[in-house]
C-alpha cells in the first residue's frame, strides 16, 4: 500500500514535513508489511501538468494577499499552481483530501488555503500542522493518511 502526496512548498517547510512523513513510513514498513510507504510529487510553477491516474492527498501551505491576521486578505498567492493542477482535466477526482500548514500567528487565516481548497473542490480538510511540524504531527498525520488509503485500497 502506498500513500501518494502531491505538495507545494515555497520556503521548504512543507517539503521538509512530507520528507519526514516519508522517512517515518519507511520505518513503519520495516516493522510491518502492511504499513504504507509514502510517495512524493512536488508541484512547482515549472511543473508539466499531467493526468493523475492514482489517488493522492494534497499538502499546501498558506500564503495570502494581506494575510496578517488583522486585515481581510483571503486571496491565495504563491501556491496557486497546486490548485490549478488539481483542477487540471480530471485530477480533482483523484484527490482524497488536503492537509494544510501555516503559522498560528495568522489567527483565523491559519491554514486558510487548505480550507478554501476543501470547500472549493469538495474534498475533506484532513489535518493541519504548523511550519515544519512536530514528531507528533508526523505520527498523527501518517495515521490519518493510513486510515484514508485503507478505504481506497
Ligand X SMILES: Cc1cc2nc3c(=O)[nH]c(=O)nc-3n(C[C@H](O)[C@H](O)[C@H](O)COP(=O)(O)O)c2cc1C
User: Where on the chain is the footprint of ligand X (CB under 6 A)?
Assistant: 9-14, 61-64, 67, 101-103, 106, 109-112, 131
Q: Of all residues in this chain, which one has the CB nearest to ligand X in the complex?
A: 102
User: Toward ligand X, which CB reaches closer, 108 or 152?
Assistant: 108
| Distance in Å, CB of 45 to ligand X, minimum | 13
| Distance in Å, CB of 72 to ligand X, minimum | 11
User: Toward ligand X, which CB reaches closer, 11 or 93?
Assistant: 11
User: Toward ligand X, which CB reaches closer, 93 or 107?
Assistant: 107
Sign of the C-alpha dihedral, residues 12, 110, 113, 115? positive
| Distance in Å, CB of 92 to ligand X, minimum | 22
Angle separating helix axes 13-31 and 135-152, nearest 10 degrees: 70
User: Toward ligand X, which CB reaches closer, 12 or 93?
Assistant: 12
User: Toward ligand X, which CB reaches closer, 24 or 106?
Assistant: 106
Which positions ≥6 away from 82 have C-beta within 8 Å?
Answer: 6, 7, 8, 43, 58, 60
Q: What is the rounded CA–CA span in Å between residue 45 and residue 39?
A: 20
| Distance in Å, CB of 135 to ligand X, minimum | 16
| Distance in Å, CB of 98 to ligand X, minimum | 14
Amino acid at each position: 500500500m502506498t500513500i501518494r502526496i502531491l505538495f507545494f512548498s515555497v520556503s521548504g517547510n512543507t517539503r521538509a514535513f512530507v520528507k519526514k512523513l516519508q522517512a517515518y513510513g519507511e520505518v513503519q514498513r520495516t516493522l510491518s508489511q502492511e504499513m504504507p510507504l509514502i510517495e512524493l510529487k512536488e508541484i512547482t510553477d515549472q511543473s508539466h501538468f499531467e493526468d493523475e491516474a492514482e489517488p493522492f492527498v494534497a499538502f499546501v501551505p498558506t500564503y495570502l494577499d494581506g494575510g496578517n491576521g488583522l486585515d481581510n486578505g483571503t486571496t491565495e498567492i504563491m501556491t496557486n499552481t497546486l490548485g490549478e493542477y488539481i483542477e487540471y482535466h480530471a485530477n480533482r477526482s483523484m484527490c482524497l483530501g488536503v492537509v494544510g500548514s501555516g503559522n498560528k500567528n495568522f489567527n483565523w487565516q491559519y491554514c486558510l488555503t487548505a480550507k478554501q481548497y476543501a470547500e472549493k473542490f469538495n474534498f475533506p480538510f484532513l489535518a493541519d500542522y504548523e511550519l515544519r511540524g512536530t514528531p507528533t504531527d508526523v505520527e498523527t498525520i501518517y495515521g490519518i493518511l493510513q486510515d484514508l488509503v485503507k478505504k481506497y485500497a
